[in-house]
Structure 1
Amino acid sequence: MTEAAAPAQAPAAETGRRIARVLIDSPLPQLDRLFDYAVPDELGDVSPGTRIKAPLRTAGRVVDGFVIEIDSEPDASRPLSEIESVVSPVVVLPDRLYRLARRVADRAAGSASDVLRLAIPKRQVRVEKSWQPVTQVPDVDESALRRAREVVGAYDGLDAVLDDGGRAAVEAIPVQQGDAPGWATLLAAAATLEWARTRSSILIVPDYRDQELLLAALAELLPAEAVVRHDARQSNSDRYRAYLRTLDDAPCVVVGNRSAVYSPVQAGLVVVWDDGDPLLAEPLAPYVHARDAALVRQEQEQSALLLVGHTRTTDAERLVVGGWMQDVTATRRTIPQVRLSTPQELEHTTQRVPSSAFAAARAATAEGPVLVQVARPGFAPSLVCATCRAPARCLHCGGPLGARRRGAVPVCGWCGRSANSWRCGQCESDQVRLASSGTERTADELGRAFPGVRVIVSDGAHPVQHVDAKPALVVATRGAEPIAAGGYRAVILLDGARMLQAPELRIGESCLRWWCNAAALAAPGAPVHLVGVNGPVARALATWTPAAYARSELEARAPLHMPPTTRMAQIDGLPASVRAALDAVAELGVRGEAVLGPVPIGDEGRMRALVRFGYAAGQAVATRLRASVIAEAAQSRRGRARTRIPLAVHLDILEPDL
């Protein structure tokens, strides 16, 4: 990644015509550049970073935009359109945010306006008029600062990384500190130390559950005025109010989801928690992962950057192996007591909960809560024919049939129709059997096996944040595990073999992440049983060596040139457009085995190709692909082909799909 030149902020001369260089807020790729507009005298002073409205002659309408630069030119003969109005005098796009958006977009072959659309919320007039800038912030309590130093000091070399603005992949201690998980306490402590240095921090987490835990940990160390919440669940006014707070010079701690990485604060620290979570991958163009945006930001601003997790993604391990990131672990490692299934238990695959795990759960429920992790929600997410074992499919749409409760009529998971008169397409049988167990079926079975013990279900339909220390069986899907007061007295990880069967490139590291995050919720000394799994992933969990597993995954992918050992771009569009884009990157030497496809997708005549290329060639490939997108869009515009399928480019895809 290379540093982009910052736009010059030249003051307007006393003589000559004032001009503004404007970034148009438009999804059209051909408009992703700066346009010159004349600034009429009646508008007065126009500052860079303000919202304006300006005419777009090619479209014959007035569009929104941001002033990026104010300059002057002595020769006023050049025909220029004038800015129509200044929407607001508030500078909502500081120069550092524009440079970040520009670099992120260029790296991903996207538009800066698409990035800024994620970063800058819509204007709220009432909030803006009533806003009072924050100029003073309270000091850190000395006892809180002392606790923060103790937490950070438990990690070897982490304090030096924070002091020097370094980069580190941090393996979080898998323990709870009070009612807060150890990782949340670590992030709060690091932000507290930055606050004491009057520097802002950006803490990025995957979802609202993690955000609530982190906010609770921050409340133990910092005053409420120091923390700024950033997430999609806020109202428009609250989100805009939070954004205005991040524009102030006074430091703050921003806590939010993936788009919080674009917060306009002058950050001294950026932290990404659990960067392997797919929720941190942006689903909107230009599809930049929060981790990649944080890496670009750190290089641009020289802030400290931490990738924190119980496990290590192959993306982070690649940076550690290459010497670009420091490996930070606890000075005194504390790991859960993981127990794997015995060879005899592995042979009896029909027994879902082996005797050792059942006995551990029986003993633990006498003391407190027990966590049981399963793969899927619901009662029986999938059914099969009772005679030939063929998957039961809906007769209307072909979707999978499932059961919502024992003895219920099968229901299609796609169209929702009830299969009252279902018959197997293979053997004509009308009987089905349960092929898998979800949270509700597991809870039903365990409830009968543990009479008198509370059974709590936590999944997407029944979210639970916390459970008390009383005896209970907590059945949860991966990622939906509640926090237990004092930790779980035992953790049972079911359906591991089924999880590993998913046809995904990263399924091994994903399973390890799910299991490690669940094991980290166990009380000190509590047993963690991984049921029905052996092999490298199980050994990595038992020995708690996620970094070594990630390194072995990198070594296995390197000969195949699969991500993240190389970068990969996905190109979708009509055949001629895809071929033109492939020809453009072929001029850089990217051809032959580096190109997979193109293959047809969908029913609209579209094609898809995958292009693999090295990191050193990343900027050149992104530039060529972006030029192909712009050329295709301009051609469609000239031909007024409104129904023409656009060329779409997605760099750094997580899972190749052909």
Structure 2
Amino acid sequence: MLGAAPAPVRPPDGVDVAETRPVALVQVDTGLPHLDRPFEYLVPRDLDDAALPGCRLKVRFAGKDVDGLLLERREQAEHTGRLTPLRKVVSPESVATPPLLALCRSVADHYAGTLGDVLRLAIPPRHARAEKALPVEAPEAEPLPAVVADAWRAYPAGPALLARVSAGEAPTASWLARPTVDPGEDWPVALAQLALTALAAGRGVVLVAPDGRDVDRLDAALREVLGPGQHVRLSAEQGPQARYTAWLKVLRGHVRCVVGTRAAAYAPVQDVGLLVCWDDGDDALSEPRAPYAGTRGVLALRAELEHTALVIGGHTRTAEVQSWLASGRARPVEVPRDRSAQPRVEVAGDERDVERDGPAARAHLPTRAWQAAKRALQTGPVLVQVPRRGYLPALSCQQCRTPARCATCHGPLGLAAAGDRPACRWCGRTVVDFRCAECDGTRLRSTVVGARRTAEELGRAFPGVAVHRSAAGEMLREVGSGPSLVIATPGAEPIAEGGYAATLLLDAWALLERPVLDAQAEALRRWAAAAALTRPSRSGGLVVLCGAPSHTTLPAVEALVRWAPGWFAEREFTERAELQLPPARWVAELTGPRVPLAAALESLHLPDGVELLGPLPVGRPGAEDAERALLRCADAAVPDVLARLTAMRAARSARKDLVSIGVRVDPEPGLL
């Protein structure tokens, strides 16, 4: 076993081993938590030159040929028995560099996962053709342009951040990007200029954004600021060969700047000096595969390990980053408040609107929003953000307002298009004769209006005006500066040339009433992203928030009206700290069927000071028997709890339990 005294190498009969460092320490890709440790193998003489640390291997394990990564080579073995020789060196390319291995091990430990799971996320599958086609030696790099930082002049702390990055220091900054429709000062250009500052100082750069649209904007800005050939992109839209070629360019040192989606956080940039995460509150940056490591957390661990600068940017600030500010771990970078530089924000449906317009003041498209759109269409495009896609995604009984449910699976009923019959959104069954289970009513009404129905209604309300739709599967990148209506779901808003003349944020209640911890923070993040595409108030830009609850003033609504995302983040973190909620307290989530989950919790033997909340039903479609429990404790107890969680998973794996227990450390607030 590992940890025993070194033993002489005992090769099998007839195996000629390498003369120097004949023992290979291999991370075998078993996928089993109880086997999450390196194993020792012999290096045959004929594989001596190719078996380099970090290369991909084939080894014999449990009677099968499986994949592995060579971690290091040693002179002596710790195993006292005979060692099995390596079967094959798949490629001599050292894909697992020492910094990458250290990061993956740190991520696995922090999130109670296995090294193999993290390595699968960090290292893309091999593409032999790409590996052979790319030259090993890096070509002579084109000189970088002179450093320009115009986009940072408006930020009082901007010059200091640039100076520290240029000096090779490791500051951590929370950057609140100001809303602007000036292409030369927008957030992609600002990040490109920050990247140029680090590259000019001889340091590498990693920039991570939530989705392909944001990566496209950063990619274009980097080409403009850095020049061609100075960076690569890593995103899901690339094919296997293109993606692996880009990754190899980074590994072999052809380029030192990477932009991409969440997997780019692991990119093996040489001598990295700057890590950037844009819009860290977006759920697209949450890894859906074990060990569920969020991008913000991965970059924070990497910044600590490799002593690099870390910048978390966005139009809003998450409570997690606010906790860094409260502890002194990070410093804020933001502009002084200037109302004329931001769009004016109005809230439709207040008492004056009700007194003047009656029930129309709280309609799907209130009178104030309609009037604002009519005026704005005289000078430019109008953006309409709708929280839900589809036509009528939710229906209810016309008589008693009870949500309409499927008689078979109890899923919600919706309408896909005008003239269609209602259908279940879970099982897809069409409902011919609806009958309410509460009052026997037979008529349906719309509860939520989707983007397609909204586009249909606005097309009738503004005849002769072009109507564009943008949502998943039909996303627009940009629109012109002429009058038009753009109906978009959150995250799919196209860029308008010169900015939108007005933005309407419909059905605010649909975001505010989500039963999750970060409902208000997520609503503000989505509203601010749309409002940032709107012209400033000095140019007549207007944002109208529709459908917000009128009985109380919510902090998210107030933060949008005042454009005070920093104030909202501070308030959000303070309230969570008082209630001992994340990120003020460490939390781990365990999910699984009721009986196995109870057994797993009992096997943890939780120490004093660790709270167990639940278990309670998960409440998701298709998971009727699933339950979840939360473990909550202070930071001092975290290492002990992580060790117990790791041991529990390993013990269940060793017993070959058929049911797995999901473990998610630091779950995103949207999951709580």
Query: What is the TM-score when the length of structure 2 is the normalising length?
Result: 0.89
Match of 1:233 among 234, 237, 247: 237
Per the alignment, residue 90 of structure 1 pairs with 93
Say if 2:377 and 2:483, in contact at 8 Å, map to a contact too: yes
Match of 2:161 among 158, 166, 169: 158
More off after superposition, 337-346 vs 294-303:
337-346
Per the alignment, residue 202 of structure 2 pairs with 198
More off after superposition, 275-284 vs 597-606:
597-606
Question: Matched residue of 2:408: which SS?
Answer: coil
Distance 1:604 1:328 in 2: 46
In the TM superposition, what are the counterparts of 1:119-134 in structure 2 within 5 Å? 119-133=122-136, 134=138
> What is the one-letter code of the residue matched to 1:344?
R
Per the alignment, residue 60 of structure 1 pairs with 63
Match of 2:286 among 281, 286, 294: 281
Say if 1:400 and 1:413, in contact at 8 Å, map to a contact too: yes
1:316 equivalenced with 2:331 (yes/no): no
Match of 1:645 among 636, 656, 659: 659
Distance 1:261 1:74 in 2: 34
Distance 2:670 2:461 in 1: 43
Per the alignment, residue 531 of structure 1 pairs with 546
Per the alignment, residue 508 of structure 2 pairs with 496
Question: Matched residue of 1:395: which SS?
Answer: coil
Say if 2:18 and 2:48, in contact at 8 Å, map to a contact too: no
Distance 2:530 2:515 in 1: 23
Say if 2:518 and 2:670, in contact at 8 Å, map to a contact too: no
Return the offset for 1:389: 1.9
More off after superposition, 393-402 vs 359-368:
393-402
Question: Matched residue of 1:294: which SS?
Answer: helix
Per the alignment, residue 263 of structure 1 pairs with 267
1:387 equivalenced with 2:394 (yes/no): no
> What is the one-letter code of the residue matched to 2:122?
A
For structure 1, the residue ranges without an aligned partner over 5 or more in a row are 1-12
Distance 1:306 1:568 in 2: 25
Return the offset for 1:247: 0.5
Match of 2:654 among 629, 634, 649: 634
Per the alignment, residue 353 of structure 2 pairs with 345
Across the aligned residues of Structure 1 and Structure 2, the Cα RMSD in angstroms comes to: 2.4
Say if 2:383 and 2:487, in contact at 8 Å, map to a contact too: yes
Structure 2 vs 1, CA of residues 404 and 17 (structure 1 numbering), >3 Å: closer, same or farther?
A: closer
Structure 2 vs 1, CA of residues 454 and 25 (structure 1 numbering), >3 Å: closer, same or farther?
A: same
Match of 1:625 among 629, 640, 645: 645
Structure 2 vs 1, CA of residues 170 and 346 (structure 1 numbering), >3 Å: closer, same or farther?
A: farther
1:610 equivalenced with 2:668 (yes/no): no
Per the alignment, residue 6 of structure 1 pairs with none
Return the offset for 1:460: 1.9
Structure 2 vs 1, CA of residues 250 and 352 (structure 1 numbering), >3 Å: closer, same or farther?
A: same
In the TM superposition, what are the counterparts of 1:42-441 in structure 2 within 5 Å? 42-45=46-49, 46-56=51-61, 59-73=62-76, 78-133=81-136, 134-142=138-146, 145-146=147-148, 149-155=149-155, 156=157, 157-163=160-166, 164-178=169-183, 182-266=186-270, 267-330=272-335, 334-341=341-348, 342-345=350-353, 348=359, 350-441=362-453
Distance 1:653 1:524 in 2: 36
Deviations 1:551-601 (A, max 9, x none): 11122122322111112111234667545654565554244xx11123456
Question: Matched residue of 1:649: which SS?
Answer: strand
Return the offset for 1:634: 0.5
Distance 1:631 1:652 in 2: 22
Match of 1:451 among 440, 463, 468: 463
Aligned residues: 631
Return the offset for 1:129: 1.4
Structure 2 vs 1, CA of residues 576 and 527 (structure 1 numbering), >3 Å: closer, same or farther?
A: closer
Distance 2:245 2:446 in 1: 51
Say if 1:181 and 1:521, in contact at 8 Å, map to a contact too: no
Return the offset for 1:76: 9.7
> What is the one-letter code of the residue matched to 2:351?
P
Per the alignment, residue 10 of structure 1 pairs with none
> What is the one-letter code of the residue matched to 1:209?
R
Distance 1:42 1:451 in 2: 77
Say if 1:204 and 1:271, in contact at 8 Å, map to a contact too: yes
Say if 2:342 and 2:535, in contact at 8 Å, map to a contact too: no
The percentage of counterpart residues that share the same residue type is 39
More off after superposition, 517-526 vs 218-227:
218-227
Distance 1:159 1:118 in 2: 31
Distance 1:584 1:379 in 2: 48
Deviations 1:170-195 (A, max 9, x none): 001111233x7812111111112222
For structure 2, the residue ranges without an aligned partner over 5 or more in a row are 1-16
Structure 2 vs 1, CA of residues 603 and 466 (structure 1 numbering), >3 Å: closer, same or farther?
A: closer
Return the offset for 1:198: 2.8
Distance 2:70 2:222 in 1: 36
Structure 2 vs 1, CA of residues 511 and 332 (structure 1 numbering), >3 Å: closer, same or farther?
A: closer
1:561 equivalenced with 2:580 (yes/no): yes
> What is the one-letter code of the residue matched to 2:353?
E
Distance 1:91 1:113 in 2: 16
Say if 1:200 and 1:252, in contact at 8 Å, map to a contact too: yes
Return the offset for 1:415: 2.4
Per the alignment, residue 7 of structure 2 pairs with none
